[in-house]
Amino acid sequence: MTPDAGPPAQPRPSGIRLGRVLGVPVFLRWSWLLLAAVVVVLYVGVLDTMLPQLSLAGRYAFAVGFVLCLLLSVLLHELGHAVVARHYGIRVRTIMLEVLGGYTEMESDSPHPRADLAVSAVGPIVSGVLGAVALAGYLSLPRGTVVSQLLFQLAWANLVVAIFNALPGLPLDGGRAVRAVVWGLTGNRHTATTVAGWLGRGLAAGLAVAAIALLVSRDINIATPLLLMLLASTIWQGATIAIVQGRLLARLPRVNLRQLARPILTVPTGMPLAEVIRRVAESGLAAPAVAVVDSTGRVISLVHEESAAAVPVERRPWVPIDSVARTLEPGRTLTADMSGEEVINAVRAHPAPDYLVVSSTDVVGVLRLVDLDRVLRT
């Protein structure tokens, strides 16, 4: 599975760093170790009928080898996404291997529907090729050997992964392919994301219904419906994220910094909070933002309204305004002509309650995060 692009700056992923492959950092979720242990224990229990010639130690070695081969298959699947993404100029941040597969984290969305379709399609193709190669190897070897049994299991696993990932619904690769097609037909990526997300929800609901049907039937291993429910839950969550993202991003044209920026009232450093409040009341400005300036008139910090309001009235004459202001750090200044998506990426990269909006050397106003959130959600 390949998720949508994230913000330009992210903290280091949590997990075990396995190294770099083709220049891409590869991480392994800690939860994968638990799943691997469960698979090994369960697999050892059935190997005595598949490969009776193996000792207990041999069965454990076979099960561990099978799990590691599966991990390698998932890595090759994700590398397929990464290589094709790079071909279209999309920078790849990391590859994360986890419980139910993996994902390739990219720094930007696909530039056009054709690239989106190619990036999504290559994953199932890689898994299908791996499955076909393993199946060919199995058919060419005598039955009942350790190698032939391993190839058979890998063929089955990779072909299932290829077919499952090709299902039409986000966050699966097939869902991203559907998004690319709808994007190409409508010209609207955000609408396409929402459509593919709803298809993903439908797919998750179908898996949940299938799991319940298996639970009420007889002679069914409990592990199968539980796995289906886990898959349904994971797909539902990913599809829901896609729907929300599609709806929010569709509102990006409403983000106009010149309109959203609050008027600014500047006060000198060291001024008592009570005096600042008096000046705000007399300014006649509608919901102004207060900025602290130095002796040269340069804005050095922005007053945090909640912190100022929390100061008791009797203490305000002795509290300097600087104590309830936040220093204007790099990343908290936005250019007034930035587009909607540029604004979202900048805010994600440097989270803060407010930002100074400038045009050339002139201060336009202050963007408060609550105002941006209101525009995107209403």
* pLDDT tens by residue, 282-291: 998 888 999 9
The predicted-structure confidence for 61-86, as pLDDT tens digits, reads as follows 999 999 999 999 999 999 999 999 99
Exposed / middle / buried, residue 148 (Cβ in 10 Å: 0-12, 13-18, 19+): middle
Task: Based on the fold, state whether residues 230 and 266 are members of the same structural domain.
Answer: no
High-pLDDT (> 70) share of the chain, %: 95
- Binned at pLDDT 50, 70 and 90, residue 184 comes out as very high
Task: Based on the fold, state whether residues 263 and 147 are members of the same structural domain.
Answer: no
The overall average pLDDT reported for the chain is: 89
In this model, does residue 131 exceed pLDDT 90?
yes
Which among 213, 233, 252 is the end of a domain? Answer: 252
Exposed / middle / buried, residue 63 (Cβ in 10 Å: 0-12, 13-18, 19+): buried
High-pLDDT (> 90) share of the chain, %: 62
pLDDT at 13: 67
Least confident among 87-91, 133-137, 328-332: 328-332
Contact 318, 272 (CB under 8 A): yes
In this model, does residue 10 exceed pLDDT 80?
no
CA atoms within 13 A on the CB side of 190: 11
Would you say how long the chain is, in residues? 378
Which range marks the domain in which residue 201 is found?
16-252
CB contact set of 194 (below 8 Å; sequence gap of 6+)? 242, 243, 246, 247, 250
In this model, does residue 9 exceed pLDDT 90?
no
Query: Residue 2: inside a domain, yes or no?
Result: no
Look-up of token digits 């700056």: 9
- The β-bridge partners of 106 are 92
More confident residue, 4 or 55: 55
Domain count, the chain: 2
**In this structure, what CATH number is given to the domain that contains residue 324?**
3.10.580.10
Give the pLDDT mean for 220-233: 82
Q: What is the DSSP string of 168-221?
A: SSTTSHHHHHHHHHHHHHHS-HHHHHHHHHHHHHHHHHHHHHHHHHHHHSSS--
